[in-house]
């Protein structure tokens, strides 16, 4: 059973151990024609493009769709999808905003609910799922630690993390060419196009995106070896809420600390902030990044279509400032 998802807080470990095949959904940017009627003009372009892809049959083989309560748009997207024909097979994972034991327990409970939702559909037994899950979490941690090290050492630039398959980690290490190192903070749309553009300008891109590294990397201060919890759901919950690289939705202190740490370790010369118009979290984060980071920031905005020509012009101007 193919299980589609896009939010980095949806654990492929859980999908796999419940007998599903995780598919990371990466909508292609086409002219939004089927999706737009559901949402007003000032609304998250990702949601529109996502619906467009869904309705035009890009993911026909993906029967089950998972969403999270990450922002207002993603909630509405879930509500819209679940009201369409076939909507019963979509699920909203309630993702807490808070950190700390209360939130971990709450999220563990929600993950359990998701597991049951999936088991009902795959027919796998709960017992088998539990033992698989423990294994999944263990090996996931090992891979993540390794990836984090490699990334911080500057050996995983470019689009290596971006993969269509939900579960598989990128290959590493790679032979890395030189170039001007920049940190790219982006959302779900047109990440590949932009990385391509940056690389064309011989930039060494270190991406921080929900399709790529942010799904894999761990925070700096997570010094642990094995899941410390008895309950694999609690381990999984902590892995995602406490250890995984945070998203712009916060918690912002941790998020800012993460960005500061990464940009310092990677020794980047500037930040490219590539964000969707009408995405509240990005809009707020952009302000905080500008205020708190002592690096030059280039902000590039988009709506429902890529605008490579315009981005290129702005990028060139930015590069001229960086390398006089």
Measured between its terminal Cα atoms, the distance across the chain in Å is: 54
Single residue of 247, 259, 266, 315 touching ligand SF4 by CB under 6 A = 247
Of other proteins, ligand SF4, none, which one sits near residue 288, judging by CB under 5 to 8 A according to partner kind? other proteins
Going from the C-alpha of 180 to that of each of 118, 157, 201, 209, 320, the distances in angstroms are 45, 11, 9, 19, 12
> Which residues are near other proteins by CB under 8 A?
31, 33, 36-44, 69-73, 75-76, 79-80, 83, 92, 94, 96-98, 102-103, 106, 109-110, 113, 249-250, 252, 277-278, 280-281, 283-288, 290-292, 302-307, 309-310, 313
> Which residues in the 39-78 window bind ligand SF4 by CB under 6 A?
44, 46-47, 68, 70-71, 73-74
Q: Does 217 bind ligand SF4 (CB under 6 A)?
A: no
Single residue of 53, 90, 110, 187 touching ligand SF4 by CB under 6 A = 187
Alpha-carbon distance 15 to 12, whole Å? 5
Q: Does 191 bind ligand SF4 (CB under 6 A)?
A: no
Q: Does 282 bind ligand SF4 (CB under 6 A)?
A: yes
Report residue 251 as tokens.
Answer: 């918690």
What is the β-pairing status of strands 2-5 and 21-24?
A: parallel
Widest Cα–Cα separation across the chain = 63
Which DSSP category does 169 fall into?
Answer: P
What is the β-pairing status of strands 203-208 and 270-276?
A: unpaired
Which DSSP category does 96 fall into?
Answer: -
Report how many residues bind ligand SF4 under the rule CB under 6 A.
Answer: 20
Going by C-beta distance under 8 Å and a sequence separation of 6 or more, which residues neighbour residue 159?
A: 191, 192, 195, 196, 207, 212
Q: Residue-wise over 246-284: b if at least 16 C-beta within 10 A, else e?
A: bbbbbbeebbbebbbebbeebebbbbbbbbbebbebbee
Single residue of 249, 286, 301, 318 touching ligand SF4 by CB under 6 A = 249
The stretch among 231-239, 252-260, 262-270, 274-282 that binds ligand SF4 (CB under 6 A) is: 274-282
φ, ψ at 167 (rounded to 5°): -90, -35
Residue 60 CB-density burial (10 A; 0-12 exposed, 13-18 middle, 19+ buried): exposed
The stretch among 14-22, 105-113, 134-142, 276-284 that binds ligand SF4 (CB under 6 A) is: 276-284
Alpha-carbon distance 26 to 308, whole Å? 19
CB of residue 104 to other proteins, shortest distance in Å: 12
The answer to whether residues 185 and 272 touch, using CB atoms and an 8 Å cutoff, is: yes
Of other proteins, ligand SF4, none, which one sits near residue 292, judging by CB under 5 to 8 A according to partner kind? other proteins
Host H or E run for residue 235:
helix 232-238
Of ligand SF4, other proteins, none, which one sits near residue 151, judging by CB under 5 to 8 A according to partner kind? none
The stretch among 5-13, 28-36, 101-109, 295-303 that binds ligand SF4 (CB under 6 A) is: 5-13
Q: Does 9 bind ligand SF4 (CB under 6 A)?
A: yes
State CA 111 to chain mean position distance.
18
**DSSP 3-state of 257:** helix
Of other proteins, ligand SF4, none, which one sits near residue 9, judging by CB under 5 to 8 A according to partner kind? ligand SF4
Indicate the residue among 203 and 259 with the shorter CB distance to ligand SF4. Answer: 259
Q: Does 119 bind ligand SF4 (CB under 6 A)?
A: no
Q: Does 281 bind ligand SF4 (CB under 6 A)?
A: yes
CB of residue 49 to ligand SF4, shortest distance in Å: 10
Of ligand SF4, other proteins, none, which one sits near residue 244, judging by CB under 5 to 8 A according to partner kind? none
Residues that bind ligand SF4 (CB under 6 A): 7-9, 44, 46-47, 68, 70-71, 73-74, 187-188, 210, 247, 249, 276, 279, 281-282
């Amino acid at each position: 059973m193919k299980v589609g998802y896009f939010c980095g807080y949806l654990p492929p470990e859980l999908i796999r151990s419940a007998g599903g095949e995780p598919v990371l959904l990466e909508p292609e940017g086409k002219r939004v024609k089927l999706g737009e009627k559901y949402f007003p003009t000032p609304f998250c372009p990702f949601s529109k493009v996502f619906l467009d892809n869904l309705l035009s049959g890009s993911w026909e083989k993906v029967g089950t769709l998972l969403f999270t309560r990450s922002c207002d748009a993603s909630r509405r997207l879930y509500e819209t999808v679940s009201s369409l024909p076939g909507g019963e097979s979509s699920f909203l994972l309630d993702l807490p905003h808070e950190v700390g034991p209360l939130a971990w327990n709450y999220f563990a409970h929600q993950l359990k609910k998701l597991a049951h939702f999936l088991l009902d559909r795959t027919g796998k037994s709960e017992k088998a799922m539990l033992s698989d899950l423990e294994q999944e979490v263990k090996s996931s941690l090992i891979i993540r630690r390794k990836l984090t090290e490699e990334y911080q050492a500057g050996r995983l630039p470019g689009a290596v993390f971006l993969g269509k398959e939900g579960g598989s980690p990128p290959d590493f290490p790679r032979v890395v060419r030189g170039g001007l190192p920049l940190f790219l903070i982006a959302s779900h749309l047109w990440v590949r196009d932009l990385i391509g553009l940056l690389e064309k300008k011989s930039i060494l891109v270190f991406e921080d995106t929900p399709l790529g590294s942010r799904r894999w990397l761990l925070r700096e201060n997570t010094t642990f070896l094995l899941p410390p919890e008895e309950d694999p759901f609690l381990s999984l919950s902590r892995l995602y809420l406490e250890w995984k690289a945070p998203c712009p939705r916060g918690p912002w202190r941790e998020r800012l600390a993460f960005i500061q740490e990464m940009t310092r370790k990677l020794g980047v010369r500037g930040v490219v902030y590539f964000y969707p118009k009408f995405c509240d979290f990005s809009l707020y984060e952009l302000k905080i990044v500008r205020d708190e980071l002592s690096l030059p920031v280039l902000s590039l905005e988009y709506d429902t279509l890529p605008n490579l020509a315009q981005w290129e012009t702005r990028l060139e101007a930015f590069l001229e400032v960086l390398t006089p």
